[in-house]
Chain A
Amino acid sequence: MKYTGKAHKVGDHIDTDAIIPARFLVTSDPVELGKKCFEGLEQGWASRINNGDILVGGKNFGCGSSREHAPIAIIGSGMPAVIAHSFARIFYRNGFNMGLVLLEIGDDTGKISDGDQLEVDASTGEIKNLTTGDIIKSLPVPEFMADILSKGGLVNYVRGKVA
Chain B
Amino acid sequence: MAKTLAQKILQRHSLDEVGTAGQIVCCKTSMVLANDITAPLAIDSFRKMGAGKVFDRQKVALVCDHFTPNKDIDSAEQVKKVREFAREMGIVHYYEGGNVGVEHALLPELGMVGPGDIVVGADSHTCTYGGLGAFATGMGSTDIAAAMALGETWFKVPETIKVNIIGNLDKYTTPKDLILYLIGIIGVDGALYRALEFTGSIVDEMEIEGRMTMANMAIEAGGKAGLFPADDKTVAYCLEKGFENPEKIFSDDGALYCREVKIDVTGMSPQVACPHLPDNVKAVDELERVKVDQVVLGSCTNGRITDLRQAAEILKGRKVNRDVRFIVLPATPKIFEQALEEGLINIFIKAGAIVGPPTCGPCLGGHMGILASGERCLATTNRNFKGRMGSLDSEVYLGSPMVAAATAIAGEIIHPGKV
Contact = CB atoms under 8 A, between A and B. Distances in A.
A159 B156 CA distance: 22
Contacts of A67: 37-38, 140
B141 interface: yes
Given A26-B67, A68-B38, A60 B222 contact: yes
Given A15-B385, A17-B386, A155-B48, A27 B74 contact: yes
Given A65-B124, A88-B189, A142 B156 contact: yes
Interface residues of A, number: 44
B38 A18 contact: no
A71 B142 CA distance: 12
Contacts of A66: 38, 121-124, 126, 138-141
Interface stretch (B4-12, B146-154, B229-237): B146-154
A154 B143 contact: yes
A69 B123 CA distance: 12
Contacts of B224: 89
Given A154-B142, A158-B146, A89 B277 contact: no
A17 B143 contact: no
Contact of A88 (B24, B52, B139, B192): B192
Contacts of A162: 49-52, 149-150
Interface of B: 24, 37-38, 40-41, 44-45, 48-52, 66-67, 72, 74-75, 77-78, 121-124, 126, 138-143, 145-146, 149-150, 154, 156, 188-189, 192-193, 222, 224, 277, 364-366, 383, 385-388, 392
Interface of A: 13, 15, 17-18, 21-23, 25-28, 40-43, 59-60, 63-69, 71, 86, 88-90, 93-94, 97-98, 142-144, 154-155, 157-159, 161-163
Given A17-B383, A93-B143, A144-B154, 7 more contacts: A13-B188, A17-B364, A17-B385, A22-B388, A26-B74, A65-B123, A158-B149
